[in-house]
Chain A
Amino acid sequence: MAGQQQNNTLLSFKVGEEFFALDAMKVNHILEVSEITKVPNTPEFMKGVINLHGNIVPVVDLRVMMGFPDKGINHDTAIIVVSPDDQQENNLGVMVDMVKEVIEAEGIEVKPTVVDSKKSRIKNFKGTFLFENQFIHIVDVQELTIAAEI
């Protein structure tokens, strides 16, 4: 899917050695990894649930979802809480290796993403663009949330 119309503001982050980005308007919080309550009998990518201001938010590990090796948790590891539609029950925590920066993407040329669909649970991207000599793949939040359902 080539994204012709682009989200203007993107949040970029790192998973493994690759850079990704998602619509910054859908990002609710960026958290350090704190205590995660494991939910038994769930797929490996489902890390568990956290208490975010009294609400229960599930956390998925994007590294596992995309088939990267699990590097464990260090001080760079972060949880990006995305809110696809402002509904509390649809909020989702996404664990990434590092949150990088906010990019104003207006006017940047976006090309279709090349994906190896075997490894990753997320198969459709909104495109890839070159930014400061890095290829950044735009994650479709909708796609991400669908892939996160157990």
Chain B
Amino acid sequence: MIDKFKAKFVEESLDNVNDLEEALFALENDMQSKELIERIFRAMHSLKGGGAMFGFNHLSEFTHHLENIFDQIRNNKLEVTNDLISLTFSAVDEIKYLLDKGDLTEEEDLEEFNSLMEKIQAFLHDDGAPSVSHKTSSSNAVDDNSDSKIYLISFIPRENLLQNGTNPLFLLDDLHALGDGHSIVFTHKVPPFDALVPDYNYCFWQIILSTSEPVNEIKDVFIFVEDECDLSIEEVGKGSFKLTPPIEKLIESARQANSLIKSSELKILLNKVDKKEDNKSSQKAKSGTNKQKTQLKEHKISSIRVASKKIDELVNLVSELVTTQAQLSVYAEKKGDSDILTLAENVQKLSRQLRDNAFEISLIPMQSELMRFQRLVRDLSKELGKETEFVIEGGDIELDKNIIEHLTDPLLHILRNCVDHGIETPEERVAAGKSPKGNIYFKAYYEGANVMIEVTDDGKGIDVNAIKAKAIKRGLIHETDELTQKEIMDLVFTSGFSTRDTVSDVSGRGVGMDVVRKKIAEIRGEVTIDSQVGQGTTITLRLPLTLSIIDGLLLKVGFNKYVVPISSIEKIYSLAKEQLRDSFNRVVVIDNTQIPYVDLRDVFKEEKQETTNIQMVLIRHENKRLGLLVDEVLGEHQTVVKPMGRYLQRHEVISGASVLGDGSIALVVDTNRIFQFSGGNNSGKNN
């Protein structure tokens, strides 16, 4: 039982660590941000607490000291420095390690742990600040006064308030969560439309609030905007606030005169309020406050955590349901019974909806992995003495979790390449007339049924001639080969190709771009590269949204049925026999271009039936085209792709199978592999 909780703790802690890392990144750019320091502090605090509870003693001890540092920063006793951030980053790594290992026992681990601890403690004592032994965390929530008081809060933000992302309305909401209140907005400063700057704030507010919370709680609401506003909080009375006619009048006149309510006037009016009523309503106000608080809390549970295995099971079951439903439809049509037909149609509708829903559940945003990328770029840049700005766009794009799992390694490799090979050192950049800081853009977006991911750097780019020379040297191409720029670029995906002569510690650990392409192809994706010398490189990944369902074209070759993904099909032709040439190269001439073809009956070693008309499916893979000769094109077929299992997974062209409506099996042809299999015009074939 306890292990279960422990696992849960680790899982949740990893979320905390993620949050911590995210905040650290932000802090690096904005060292003064109180909000971030608070966030870091909170994350550490929960790590510490949970660690102690679940027997992660080293973790708890470790984070305790870290927490102290940030506590001191919080209280302005310490300053955020680059050293501190770097130290915290390595501390975060140690936390991850500790979460993985539990308490340390290995000598080596302990040594590292202790040295890191010393560094942290040194930090605490360096600045001569007294080490804080007691915790100052959330103990101030204790009510010191159960009687509620009335405050007049004047909140006059500066024009630039919106620019740091603050929404003043949220602050008002927070205030109202503390107790009953009434807010008055002053809008007379809003300029006419023409003169309006959209991201400026022109409004200001006064809030009359009755609360039993200490005044500090009110101040805390504004803690992050202190510097962007004028704030005054005055106690104007006791008890609960009631909007009486005289007060209403006061508010109305203030609003008309566009002048703030004076606290003295409000005080007088409030003191007239019947004292007897006071006590009763204060009780009410209090319970109201509590209620509102719980409401706020309940609101937060908008998502639940589910073991990914359960989702896999769900998706599997739904896939099976879809298959069974297809069988039912076939049966119903054969029977011709209208009742069964209606039922079958309804089942079809429902299972389609269910399928869409289930697949949607299995999608997760890429965000979760982006932190690792950010971290990689940062650490690597530091290590190599480069300055890199990493910008992410579209991190909320959702992908099948299986795809994301397969995507992480290739993307890490691509980013590693960007920093190592792409981005130049600051000196080189300045010499080339660029800003010393290199940029890497990571952009994800939807395009039809695909997700595109672009990784662009503004580094030195790839020299086409260098690639060509190297490829010739490696014997990948022949000196006389005429290749287009794109074809040459494509060579970097060939195995055994690396443009750097020496193997660096960073990239080129035997894993090249060929592995990237292979990995991406495994999830039915494509990789392309584009580069301008001196300007940078863009690597584009095209990925399917989900792995388990494809729109396919059903073909017949011999006795077997095959499915080819529609996404890779360009056109279907009916050819006369004379159009095919089978001499030194096998090509078919269509619209005055020669297109290579393979006869699937040859590939699958089926007997050929001589017919006058031949059906050819033209498939496209990246910029290559290939015709496939088949016996018959049967039609479109949306299908659940099932894996072939362990025994057939190494098959050269078949990547899966699909159960058809009548229970028979169609084999799914992997078009990428057909290209490799056919060899043909493939300039980069060497495997």
User: Are B646 and A37 in contact, with the CB atoms below 8 A?
Assistant: no
Q: How far is A88 from B642 in the complex, measured between Cα atoms in Å?
A: 11
Q: Is B644 at the interface (CB under 8 A from chain A)?
A: yes
User: Are A37 and B667 in contact, with the CB atoms below 8 A?
Assistant: yes
Contact mask A56-93 → B, CB, 8 Å, 1/0? 11101000000000000000000000000000111110
Contact for A150 among B320, B324, B643, B648, CB less than 8 A = B648
User: Are B663 and A92 in contact, with the CB atoms below 8 A?
Assistant: no
A76 to chain B, nearest CB (A): 24
B78 to chain A, nearest CB (A): 54
Looking at A46-54, A102-110, A129-137, the stretch in contact with chain B turns out to be A46-54
Would you list the 10 A-B pairs with minimal beta carbon distance, nearest first?
A40-B604, A37-B665, A89-B645, A56-B657, A54-B320, A58-B647, A56-B642, A54-B323, A90-B646, A148-B647
* B604 partner residues in chain A, CB cutoff 8 A: 40-41
A38 to chain B, nearest CB (A): 6
Contact for A39 among B323, B603, B651, CB less than 8 A = B651
* B364 partner residues in chain A, CB cutoff 8 A: none
Can you list 27 pairs linking A and B with CB atoms under 8 Å apart? A37-B664, A38-B559, A39-B644, A39-B648, A39-B651, A39-B667, A40-B606, A40-B654, A41-B604, A41-B605, A49-B644, A49-B665, A54-B319, A54-B323, A54-B642, A54-B659, A58-B644, A58-B645, A58-B648, A88-B645, A90-B646, A91-B645, A145-B647, A148-B647, A149-B650, A150-B648, A150-B650
* B30 partner residues in chain A, CB cutoff 8 A: none
User: Are A41 and B651 in contact, with the CB atoms below 8 A?
Assistant: yes
Q: Is A55 at the interface (CB under 8 A from chain B)?
A: yes
Q: How far is A150 from B605 in the complex, measured between Cα atoms in Å?
A: 17
Contact for A56 among B606, B644, B650, CB less than 8 A = B644
User: Are A51 and B665 in contact, with the CB atoms below 8 A?
Assistant: yes
Residue of B nearest to A84 (CB): B646
Contact mask B634-654 → A, CB, 8 Å, 1/0? 000000001111111011111
Q: How far is A50 from B665 in the complex, measured between Cα atoms in Å?
A: 7
Q: Is A5 at the interface (CB under 8 A from chain B)?
A: no
Q: Check A92/B605 contact, CB under 8 A, given A37-B560, A39-B654, A51-B664.
A: no
Q: Check A41/B603 contact, CB under 8 A, given A49-B657, A51-B659, A51-B665.
A: yes
User: Are B653 and A41 in contact, with the CB atoms below 8 A?
Assistant: yes
Residue of A nearest to B648 (CB): A58
Contacts between chains A and B (CB distance < 8 A), count: 81
Q: How far is A51 from B664 in the complex, measured between Cα atoms in Å?
A: 7
* B653 partner residues in chain A, CB cutoff 8 A: 41
Q: How far is A19 from B491 in the complex, measured between Cα atoms in Å?
A: 56
Q: Check A38/B652 contact, CB under 8 A, given A54-B320, A56-B644.
A: no
* B652 partner residues in chain A, CB cutoff 8 A: 41
User: Are B605 and A40 in contact, with the CB atoms below 8 A?
Assistant: yes
Q: Is A35 at the interface (CB under 8 A from chain B)?
A: yes
User: Are A92 and B647 in contact, with the CB atoms below 8 A?
Assistant: yes
Q: How far is A73 from B67 in the complex, measured between Cα atoms in Å?
A: 74
* A54 partner residues in chain B, CB cutoff 8 A: 319-320, 323-324, 642, 659
A interface residues, Cβ below 8 angstroms from B:
35, 37-42, 46, 49-51, 53-58, 60, 88-92, 145, 148-150
Q: How far is A89 from B646 in the complex, measured between Cα atoms in Å?
A: 6
Contact mask B314-355 → A, CB, 8 Å, 1/0? 000001100110000000000000000000000000000000
Q: How far is A54 from B560 in the complex, measured between Cα atoms in Å?
A: 18
A65 to chain B, nearest CB (A): 12
* A49 partner residues in chain B, CB cutoff 8 A: 644, 648, 657, 665, 667
* B644 partner residues in chain A, CB cutoff 8 A: 39, 49, 56, 58
* A41 partner residues in chain B, CB cutoff 8 A: 603-605, 651-653
Q: A37-B664, A46-B647 are in contact. List 10 more A-B contacts (CB 8 A).
A: A40-B606, A40-B654, A41-B652, A49-B648, A51-B665, A56-B643, A56-B645, A56-B657, A88-B645, A91-B645
User: Are A150 and B647 in contact, with the CB atoms below 8 A?
Assistant: yes
* A55 partner residues in chain B, CB cutoff 8 A: 642
* B651 partner residues in chain A, CB cutoff 8 A: 39, 41-42, 150
Q: How far is A93 from B686 in the complex, measured between Cα atoms in Å?
A: 35
Q: Check A46/B646 contact, CB under 8 A, given A37-B667, A41-B603.
A: no
* B654 partner residues in chain A, CB cutoff 8 A: 39-40
* A40 partner residues in chain B, CB cutoff 8 A: 558, 560, 603-606, 654
Residue of B nearest to A90 (CB): B646
User: Are A38 and B560 in contact, with the CB atoms below 8 A?
Assistant: yes
User: Are A57 and B645 in contact, with the CB atoms below 8 A?
Assistant: yes
User: Are B603 and A89 in contact, with the CB atoms below 8 A?
Assistant: no
B663 to chain A, nearest CB (A): 6
Q: How far is A60 from B646 in the complex, measured between Cα atoms in Å?
A: 13
Residue of B nearest to A34 (CB): B663
A83 to chain B, nearest CB (A): 11
Residue of A nearest to B559 (CB): A38
A95 to chain B, nearest CB (A): 14
User: Are A51 and B663 in contact, with the CB atoms below 8 A?
Assistant: yes
B648 to chain A, nearest CB (A): 5
- Kindly name the residue among B603, B647, B657 whose own CB sees the greatest number of chain A CB atoms within 10 A: B647
Residue of B nearest to A148 (CB): B647
* B645 partner residues in chain A, CB cutoff 8 A: 56-58, 88-92
Q: How far is A56 from B646 in the complex, measured between Cα atoms in Å?
A: 11
* B647 partner residues in chain A, CB cutoff 8 A: 46, 58, 60, 92, 145, 148-150
Q: How far is A55 from B645 in the complex, measured between Cα atoms in Å?
A: 10
Q: Check A46/B663 contact, CB under 8 A, given A41-B605, A56-B657.
A: no
Q: How far is A58 from B643 in the complex, measured between Cα atoms in Å?
A: 11
* A89 partner residues in chain B, CB cutoff 8 A: 643, 645-646
Contact mask B657-683 → A, CB, 8 Å, 1/0? 101000111010000000000000000
- Kindly name the residue among A40, A89, A148 whose own CB sees the greatest number of chain B CB atoms within 10 A: A40
Q: How far is A28 from B320 in the complex, measured between Cα atoms in Å?
A: 19
B326 to chain A, nearest CB (A): 10
* A90 partner residues in chain B, CB cutoff 8 A: 645-646
User: Are A149 and B664 in contact, with the CB atoms below 8 A?
Assistant: no
Q: How far is A41 from B560 in the complex, measured between Cα atoms in Å?
A: 13
Q: How far is A48 from B324 in the complex, measured between Cα atoms in Å?
A: 22
* B319 partner residues in chain A, CB cutoff 8 A: 54
User: Are B665 and A42 in contact, with the CB atoms below 8 A?
Assistant: no
B602-616, CB < 8 A from A: 603-606
A79 to chain B, nearest CB (A): 14
